[in-house]
Amino acid sequence: MTPTAVAFDGVTKRFPGATALDGVTFAVRAGACHAVCGENGAGKSTLGKILAGLLRPDAGEVRLDGRAARFGGPRDALAAGVAIVHQELALCDNLSVAENLCMGRLPSRFGVVAEGAMRARARALLDAVEAPIDVDRPAASLSVAEQQVVQIAGAVGAGARVLVLDEPTSSLGEAESARLFATVARLKARGVTLLYVSHRLPEIFRLCDDVTVLRDGRHVETRPTAEVDEGSLVRAMIGRPHAQYFPDAAPAARGAELLRVEGLSSPGRFADVSFALHAGEVLGLAGLVGAGRSEVARALFGLDPHATGRVLVRGRPASIRSPADAMAHGIGLVPEDRKRQGLVLAMRAGENATLPTLARLARLGWVDAGAERRAVRARFEGMRVRATPESPTAALSGGNQQKIVLAKWLAADCDVLLLDEPTRGVDVGAKAEIHAAVGRLAADGAAVLLISSELPELLALASRVLVLRGGRVAGELSRAAADQEAVGRLMTGAGGPAE
């Protein structure tokens, strides 16, 4: 009989106004990859943080190898062999990759940091996960995907016997995810126990031996993955049948041209990107991590001072040098990094939800508090945000934060909406709601540029797909011609140069 590595026994955790975990009890087999699933707010990340010493339970206990584990902090947990890779990125921007990876255990000589040894240690950690990242680069210069990989390298290099992976592929493309899966397989072969938190069901069935479902902070079931299928797992997670994970809605009728981009370029990021976007259209933007997808969206929203090229809105030349310029032209952006770019974490949830539309809610320069409350209530209900308007934004789950970012831009009634990884870290129920919202936007006459690392999502929602490779347009596929194989060939260059 396989021994138990981790046991949760009646674990309860309360926050002001909410119970995140309510008497959760289940066991994790030693050397297994154990999935933890549930909707946003179900308590998955809270459970992982308790195991890793970042939070303390209000009741119940955690046992490691049969012994009670009471951690005063993550340092205690790491000493006991438990590490965590967070869903949200946790690097110090002003430090180098090497300094981030060696933080807390900097090699030194006579009280001075031995920089050569530090770089060598960092390179070894990155080599272990096959990540060719320059250790001297500042963390602030890394893409979201690169930052996620650095976190994984640091956790793996800490020599943990138990590793919590909280949405580890949420920022990764297919190639990067495949490397992570290989790392997971190597860790399992070495006897490492993994607690794998993910909304992406295909990877759960690919990687995990057992699966636990949480709903509203309570334990629903723990079963071998071989005994469940996608339908039964989704029903357990959301408490109701879910006919289609990726609804394949018919595209809306294409209308007038709303946005034209000609020769858009930015040194070192992308070059000569051109396309047109029409009312009622969802244009999918595909590409491997580093292909320039997010950089193009940021340039169109006025966030790249080095961008050149010609942008026309409704047929007229538009000078977009700042987000204010973009918004004045009816362009909105849901960025890929919600914490750094999409939210003001120090503000309350309701205040974040109205930021782009405050002018509509103001009279004589003063915000109408009653109108703002009504607007926030409607937006929270529309996106099923599990929070009150007074909730601290920083304390919300990643999925609920993402819903607020989406809600505020959906309410802004933009003519052109740039969606960069809009379903990153979002549960299966909310994912379908977001897909439906994208469909409604197009049906109402908006134009949508959709960036996603999940090809099934792009193929289900996009009217056509534009593929970037190495910062340039590799090709364009109609909805009828776009499938995973065709898009993959353009992304990787396997089919040769694009016509």
pLDDT tens across 49-96, in order?
A: 999 999 999 999 999 999 999 999 988 998 899 989 876 567 888 899
pLDDT tens across 422-471, in order?
A: 987 777 777 777 888 888 889 999 999 999 988 888 998 999 999 999 99
Kindly state which CATH superfamily the domain 4-91+142-238 is placed in. Answer: P-loop containing nucleotide triphosphate hydrolases (3.40.50.300)
Closest CA to 182 of 145, 127, 129: 129
* Burial profile 61-95: b = 16 or more Cβ within 10 angstroms, e = fewer: ebebbeeebebeebeebbebbbbbbbbbbebeeee
As assigned by CATH, the class of the 257-492 domain is alpha beta
Lowest pLDDT segment from 233-247, 308-322, 437-451, 482-496: 233-247
Answer yes or no: is pLDDT of 252 > 70.
no
Q: How confident is the model at residue 213 (pLDDT cuts 50, 70, 90)?
A: very high
Mean pLDDT calculated for residue range 369-385: 87
pLDDT tens across 115-135, in order?
A: 889 999 999 988 887 788 999
Domain ranges of the chain: 4-91+142-238, 257-492
Q: Hey, do 4-91+142-238 and 257-492 end up sharing a CATH topology, with the first three levels equal? A: yes
Burial class (CB in 10 A: 0-12, 13-18, 19+), 499: exposed
pLDDT tens across 162-206, in order?
A: 999 988 887 676 777 887 888 888 888 888 999 999 878 889 999
Mean pLDDT calculated for residue range 388-413: 86
Q: How many CB atoms are located within 10 Å of the residue 281 CB?
A: 24
Closest CA to 464 of 324, 276, 243, 203: 276
DSSP β-ladder status, 308-313 and 257-266: antiparallel
Closest CA to 167 of 27, 289, 49, 298: 49
Answer yes or no: is pLDDT of 248 > 60.
no
Q: How confident is the model at residue 392 (pLDDT cuts 50, 70, 90)?
A: very high
As a whole number of angstroms, the distance between CA 313 and CA 276 comes to 10
- What pLDDT does 48 receive? 93
